[in-house]
A = this chain, B = another copy of it.
Amino acid sequence: MAMARRIDVHHHFMSQAYIDAMGVERVASPGSAGHAEAFSAEQSLAFMEVAGIGTAILSVSAPGVELATPQATATLARECNEAQARMAADHPGRFGMLAILPLPDIDASLAEIAYAFDTLGADGAVVMSNYGGEYIGSPEFSPVFDELNRRKAVLLVHPSAPLGYRGFPGVSLSTLEFPFDTARAMASVLYYGTPARFPHVKFIWPHAGGAMPTMAGRTAALSQRNAKFELRGPEKMTQALRGFYYDTTQSLSRPTFAALSALAPFEHLLFGSDCPFASEGLVRASLAELEELALTPDRQAQFERGNALALFPRFA
């Protein structure tokens, strides 16, 4: 059936080994429930059946793989990437994979890109919005962007928790703080001019760019005061923002879609589920929101699948 052909660009890998390595507290902390559970390939496939997803692009979610030393981090990244690759190989056509990079270690990240893209056949990479408070646009990370640029790679920048802020009662960190951190990461790449310096990297910003669509005008206006802001002013900023891709995971309500549509070309909007963090109920609600948007059948097909094929053509 038609529904079963959605491509889900925001679908998380969550093995027990990963949870054990990171510690359940850190993995669970973004969610309101305070616990995290392993999710098998079979569970993902069952979820995909319900949600009409033909192919899911796997990625490690927040807080990524950062442990106390770069060595432990690199080891965990490697293990996750190999496990994702096995999952993709075991179920041909059903899973793609984004390689998690062991940042902030540059050498290990370059090595992981080489191994994951050349040996594991990764479909792109995933990084966190900030590392110890250093946002992803920082020039410190340039060698990695240089290599991703050379490979014309897809890069999903997943939100992570900000440094220092602890949240407030009633609202889980992932509800507001994650989309806020996505906006910070986007502001960081605009500040440092990353999209202009590495024009072949295909950025995917999750959750409709987080809070950025409503912040872009304000950021453009206020950036004018700061001569060090590389892509400052409405014109440069608009151009950069229109070049990005956006997944609309948990972000299909009418005001959000309206803001995103005014910011980005329709061809750059992608479907995502947030499985297994999103329950089936949440995904059903998202699909109902999608229906309410009343896109034409052509555009809906493009949004659900066609746009993603431009980034992941092997699933055509």
Contact = CB atoms under 8 A, between A and B. Distances in A.
A36 to B, nearest CB: 15
A188 B168 CA distance: 8
Contact of A170 (B162, B187, B211): B187
A121 B47 CA distance: 60
A266 interface: no
A135 B169 CA distance: 9
A111 interface: no
Contact of A191 (B138, B169, B224, B253): B169
A255 B251 contact: no
Contacts of A258: 255, 258-259, 261-262
Given A255-B213, A256-B213, A105 B163 contact: no
A38 to B, nearest CB: 20
Interface in A259-298: 259-263, 281-282, 285-286, 289
A119 interface: no
Interface stretch (A76-84, A148-156, A174-182, A196-204): A174-182
Contacts of A234: 253, 285
A147 interface: no
Number of copies of this chain that the complex holds: 4
A218 B172 CA distance: 11
A119 to B, nearest CB: 22
Contacts of A251: 214, 217-218
Contacts of A32: 222, 225-226
A71 B165 contact: no
Contact of A183 (B176, B254, B255, B262): B176
Interface in A137-169: 138, 140-141, 162-166, 168-169
A32 B187 CA distance: 15
B255 A175 contact: no
Nearest to A72: B140
A70 interface: yes
A234 B285 CA distance: 10
A163 B168 CA distance: 10
12 contacts: A69-B104, A130-B168, A135-B168, A174-B222, A180-B211, A210-B214, A214-B260, A216-B256, A217-B254, A217-B289, A222-B250, A234-B285
Given A68-B132, A255-B263, 15 more contacts: A32-B225, A68-B131, A164-B165, A168-B188, A169-B191, A176-B187, A180-B180, A180-B183, A211-B214, A214-B260, A217-B256, A217-B289, A220-B253, A224-B282, A255-B259
Interface of A: 32-33, 67-72, 103-108, 130-135, 138, 140-141, 162-166, 168-172, 174-176, 179-180, 183-184, 187-188, 191-192, 207-208, 210-211, 213-226, 228-229, 234, 250-256, 258-263, 281-282, 285-286, 289
